[in-house]
Chain A
Amino acid sequence: EIVLTQSPATLSLSPGERATLSCRASQSVSNYLAWYQHKPGQAPRLLIYDASKRATDIPARFSGSGSGTDFTLTISSLEPEDFAVYYCQQRTNWPDTFGQGTKLEIK
């Protein structure tokens, strides 16, 4: 099973700042990686798939990059509604696995 390690565990930033979240895979997942946003009391929302493709209706401030084992989710300028937990997920090897999450909190 592929293990995804996200860093940092918690990221404290202010609205308007740039956020950079990392996801590292224990072996190559090619570009078969997604990012989800999860807010309390809501279902996770798919933001990015295949490492860099934005899902439907996702704002352009969200972007993804990387391939192989190292991936990055960037939020170019944080809006108040962006503070949440972010998870990466791989689908290269069965079973699908998730990272442990990065909590993006308001500084």
Chain B
Amino acid sequence: QVQLQQSGPGLVKPSQTLSLTCAISGDSVSSNSAAWNWIRQSPSRGLEWLGRTYYRSKWYHDYAESVQSRIIINPDTSKNQFSLQLNSVTPEDTAVYYCARVTVTTYYFVDWGQGTLVTVSS
């Protein structure tokens, strides 16, 4: 059974960087049959897919256009986890952030982290 455990601060100041980590158990971040995603939810935007990383003989990254200029999702194979960095945050980035796994079996978000409420405020 796959489990995703999120960690990271719940409060970030405007213009600073939001950083979250998702630790994986029961699968490998280097798996050739999974993709590792970040999704957020806010009252104004609903559920919004932010980006993903996945390994298919080499590493790939895809990002939503809405955040493409300021997002980085990185795998960490030594710790079997992946991270989210969102730069230059504003109060509009206040949301609950989730990590989630997609597999080539269903191609949908089957496994999710517990969610982290991140508030952008000074």
- B113 adjacent to A98 (CB under 8 Å): no
- B108 adjacent to A98 (CB under 8 Å): no
Stretch at the interface among A12-20, A61-69, A73-81, A86-94: A86-94
Within B48-75, which residues are at the interface with A (CB < 8 Å)?
48-49, 62, 64-65
Q: With the chains together, A43 CA to B3 CA distance in Å? A: 12
Q: Is the interface of B mostly helix, strand, loop or mixed?
A: strand
A43 and B113 contact, Cβ closer than 8 Å, known pairs A49-B106, A91-B107: yes
- B114 adjacent to A98 (CB under 8 Å): no
Does any Cβ of B come within 8 Å of A106's Cβ? no
Query: How near does chain A come to B40, taking the closest CB pair, in angstroms?
Result: 11
Taking a contact as CB atoms closer than 8 A, the residue among B46, B49, B107, B109 that contacts A95 in the complex is B49
- A91 adjacent to B115 (CB under 8 Å): no
A contact residues, range: 20 to 34
Does any Cβ of A come within 8 Å of B110's Cβ? yes
Taking a contact as CB atoms closer than 8 A, the residue among B49, B107, B110 that contacts A97 in the complex is B49
- A98 adjacent to B49 (CB under 8 Å): yes
- B109 adjacent to A46 (CB under 8 Å): yes
Q: With the chains together, A36 CA to B112 CA distance in Å? A: 12
Taking a contact as CB atoms closer than 8 A, the residue among A43, A50, A99 that contacts B112 in the complex is A43
Please report A residues at the B interface, Cβ cutoff 8 Å. Answer: 32, 34, 36, 41-46, 49-50, 55, 87, 89, 91, 94-101
Query: Could you list 12 further interchain pairs (A-B, Cβ under 8 angstroms) beyond the known A43-B113, A91-B107, A95-B62?
Result: A34-B108, A42-B115, A43-B100, A43-B115, A44-B47, A44-B109, A44-B112, A46-B109, A49-B107, A87-B47, A98-B49, A101-B46
